[in-house]
Amino acid sequence: MGAAWAAARLPEGPLVAAAEAVGELWYRSAPAKRSQARANLRRVCEGLGASGRGPLRARRSATDVAALERLVRATFRHAARYYLEVLRTGSFDLRTAIARVDIETPTEMRDAFESGTPVIVVGMHYGAIELPVVLVSSLVGHHVTAPMETVADAGLAHWFKTSRSRVGITIVPIRDARRSLLRALRRGESVGLVADRDMTHNGIRVPFFGHPTPIPAGPALLALETGAPIFVASCRRTRDGRYAARVQRIPEPPDGSRRERVLAYTASIASAFEAILADSPEQWWGSFHPIWPDLAVASRGERAPVADATPADTRR
């Protein structure tokens, strides 16, 4: 893609400014996404306010309409920066990743990626993804297998697959992801999943900021079938072009039925997601999509009724 070639070679500063300007235009021209992000972020901020977590700007947004709207606008800017980072994938290398990513949990990072054993890395549609992947693939010493949503444009799909392969990700279709991820883990390779959205409509309901929502059960099922540990990882933008990365191990549930263990694993993942969002909720570009069924927004911007999601069959 010509845009990617240019983005990888032009100075970063002007490109970031341009991306943020695009984000502002996107905010003004996408009422449905704006409404959905507003509903989701309000719930996050209400949860943070009730628990006393997160930055003041987020807690204030639980009750201050203007503060919430500033958060929503910032989310569009961060989403535009994410797409810029995708275009700039060709300019990322290990030296850049080491220089610009600050590791906040070094012990957990070593446990996750330098143990020599396969792990299940779970993330969100949040902050930065492309640059930290370079660091992760270097630490584990092999490509990480991850599913990707179906992209209708064949040329664009090929570009995504090629560019992500370059930074250490082996892309597999989401429709056949379970089988491919199991094979990778059994080969001794790690896998990565983004699990804050129930894209396959077979999630399992667990509390998320005090309200039940379907969270994909895939990470829990993979862990139970292979014995691989689950780590929740995130990387947020900080200042002056820097990033902060964090890794948290999800404890293995105590003895119980298969369903009980899947529920416990998935609830712990949702709790880890809450901790991620407490740092910088405006970097959650997953908030553009329905997360909680009772907050789903229709395409014209109004609230739409959504049927209860069917829990995943965890008895297999």
Q: What pLDDT does residue 249 have?
A: 97
Residue 194 phi/psi, 5-degree rounding, is: -100, 120
Q: Is 310 domain-assigned?
A: no
Position 234 scores a pLDDT of 96
User: Closest Cα to residue 304, out of 313, 294, 289, 314?
Assistant: 294
- 306 lies in some domain: no
The alpha helices in the chain, defined as continuous H runs, are 2-7, 12-29, 31-51, 56-60, 65-87, 94-100, 106-113, 130-140, 154-166, 177-186, 218-226, 258-279
| DSSP structural state of residue 310 | P
Residue 311 forms part of a structural domain: no
Q: How many CB atoms within 10 Å of residue 181?
A: 27
The tally of domains found in the chain comes to 1
pTM of the model: 0.89
Structure tokens at 316: 């297999």
Beta bridge partners of 234: 246
**Residue that is written with structure tokens 């292979």 in the block:** 226
Return the half-sphere exposure (C-beta side, CA atoms, 13 A cut-off) of residue 280.
21
Please indicate, yes or no, if residue 9 is contained in any of the structural domains. Answer: yes
- Separation of alpha carbons 216 and 224, rounded Å: 14
Contacts 24+ apart (CB under 8 A), 95-100: 96/131, 96/134, 97/131, 97/132, 97/134, 97/135, 97/138, 98/135, 100/131, 100/241, 100/242, 100/243
What is d(CA 27, CA 135) in angstroms, rounded to the nearest whole number? 32
Q: Average pLDDT across each block of 10 residues of the chain; the chain has 316 residues. List them in order.
A: 68 92 97 97 97 93 96 98 86 85 94 90 93 84 80 66 74 86 94 91 93 96 96 95 95 92 98 97 96 82 34 36
Q: And the tokens for 115?
A: 């143990």
Is residue 305 situated within a structural domain?
Answer: no
Residues of the domain holding 145: 2-295
Q: How far is CA 78 from CA 37, 64, 133, 149, in A?
A: 13, 21, 18, 20
* Dist CA 265 CA 5 (whole Å): 41
Q: Is residue 316 part of a domain?
A: no
Under a CB-based contact definition with an 8 Å cutoff, are residues 250 and 256 in contact? no
Residue 187 is which amino acid? R
Residue 61 lies in a domain: yes
Residue 312 covered by a domain: no
